[in-house]
């Protein structure tokens, strides 16, 4: 058995070496060319637009904190802006370093510690935030497509499916009061759906959450626009919007911590398919994500100090709950 295993391992290793060598020979000239172009572009960059991009990113964070305050107010909690924003910073920082977006559970435990919220309410507030985010992103994608040439029709289908799913979800929430169940698990689900409805389905909530979400994602696009202008490049705004939309939809699938690598690849591929040179596309994609992640990490570290030492055990507790399928104790 061990001999067979050794043979398989050796054969696989040799195959990997051959494939790596072929790829190295094929792509090395292109990699060197891209790297040389990157160095040239960085030397001629205008730092003013970098500063503007950072300010846009910080503004988006502030607005995310305000939106989360509003969501929690719909559940009957008066959350301070400072704690709300800090809470999101901590959870998103955890998402950068752990897979499968397990960092989202951190927010549930912080809210429980600071405001004695129920775990179901914490998860429900996250769902409200995520639904408005993904629907807004898809809506921006639909609005951008008519202004961009050579867009694959599959993107239109994906965006429309997301919008339709969001619409059906809200229609379903309208009739959730008529549903009952004696099953304990189903009762937990129904309780969360009632909480989601309470936080998001009034006329005022739909209006406020929709407008704030649109502004948040336009600010996210403006960060990338600032990076483009920093390198004194011309790129249609609709192309930047579409690239950010596709990048974030792909990043929503938790394949890597914080979408690292996936996001950059998605943006680069979208830019190049829409006619942007590979070197510029890669440079813009990497620096755009770098700005956002550095601000997230810095905000997360500051927020952990702000909350105090108890946050770190809470992060571990949240990650353990997430790894067990989110089975937090009932409350």
Tens of pLDDT along the chain (331 residues) come to 445 445 444 544 554 554 455 445 544 555 555 566 666 667 777 889 999 999 999 999 999 999 999 999 999 999 999 999 999 999 998 888 777 687 888 899 899 989 999 999 999 999 999 999 999 999 999 999 999 877 888 999 999 999 999 999 999 999 988 888 778 888 889 999 999 999 999 999 999 999 999 999 999 999 999 999 998 888 899 999 999 999 999 988 877 777 888 898 999 999 998 888 887 888 899 899 999 999 999 999 999 889 887 887 767 766 666 555 544 434 4
Q: Are 69 and 84 in contact (CB under 8 A)?
A: yes
CA distances from 37 to 21, 44, 232, 240 (A): 24, 11, 14, 21
Q: Are 284 and 240 in contact (CB under 8 A)?
A: no
Q: Are 253 and 99 in contact (CB under 8 A)?
A: no
Q: Are 276 and 34 in contact (CB under 8 A)?
A: no
C-alpha–C-alpha distance, residues 46 and 130, integer Å: 35
Q: What's the full length of the chain, in residues?
A: 331
Q: Can you give the pLDDT at residue 221?
A: 97
Q: Can you give the pLDDT at residue 164?
A: 97
For 47, the token pair is 């730092």
Q: Can you give the pLDDT at residue 299?
A: 94
Question: What's the Rg (C-alpha) of the chain?
Answer: 22
């Amino acid at each position: 058995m061990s001999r067979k295993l050794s043979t398989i391992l050796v054969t696989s290793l040799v195959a990997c070496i051959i494939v790596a060598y072929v790829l190295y020979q094929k792509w090395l000239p292109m990699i060197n060319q891209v790297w040389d172009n990157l160095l040239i572009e960085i030397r001629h960059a205008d730092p003013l637009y970098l500063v503007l991009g950072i300010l846009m990113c910080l503004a988006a964070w502030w607005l995310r904190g305000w939106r989360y305050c509003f969501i929690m107010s719909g559940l009957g909690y008066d959350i301070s802006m400072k704690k709300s924003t800090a809470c999101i910073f901590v959870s998103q920082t955890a998402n950068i370093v752990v897979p499968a977006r397990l960092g989202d559970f951190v927010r549930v435990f912080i809210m429980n510690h600071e405001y004695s919220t129920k775990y179901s309410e914490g998860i429900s507030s996250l769902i409200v935030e995520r639904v408005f985010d993904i629907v807004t992103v898809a809506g921006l994608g639909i609005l951008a497509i008519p202004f961009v040439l050579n867009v694959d029709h599959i993107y239109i289908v994906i965006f429309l499916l997301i919008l339709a799913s969001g619409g059906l979800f809200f229609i379903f929430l309208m009739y959730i009061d008529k549903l009952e169940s004696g099953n304990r698990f189903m009762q937990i689900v129904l309780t969360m759906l009632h909480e989601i409805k309470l936080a998001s389905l009034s006329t005022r909530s739909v209006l406020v959450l929709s407008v704030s979400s649109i502004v948040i994602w336009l600010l996210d696009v403006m960060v990338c626009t600032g990076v483009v202008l920093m390198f004194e490049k011309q790129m249609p705004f609709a192309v930047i919007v579409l690239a950010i939309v596709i990048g974030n939809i792909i990043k929503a699938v938790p394949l890597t911590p914080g979408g690292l690598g996936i996001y950059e690849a998605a943006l680069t591929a979208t830019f190049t398919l829409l006619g942007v040179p590979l070197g510029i596309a890669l440079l813009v994609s990497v620096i755009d994500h770098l700005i956002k992640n550095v601000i997230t990490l810095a905000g997360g570290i500051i927020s952990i100090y702000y909350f105090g030492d108890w946050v770190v055990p809470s992060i571990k507790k949240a990650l353990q709950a997430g790894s067990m399928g989110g089975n937090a104790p009932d409350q």
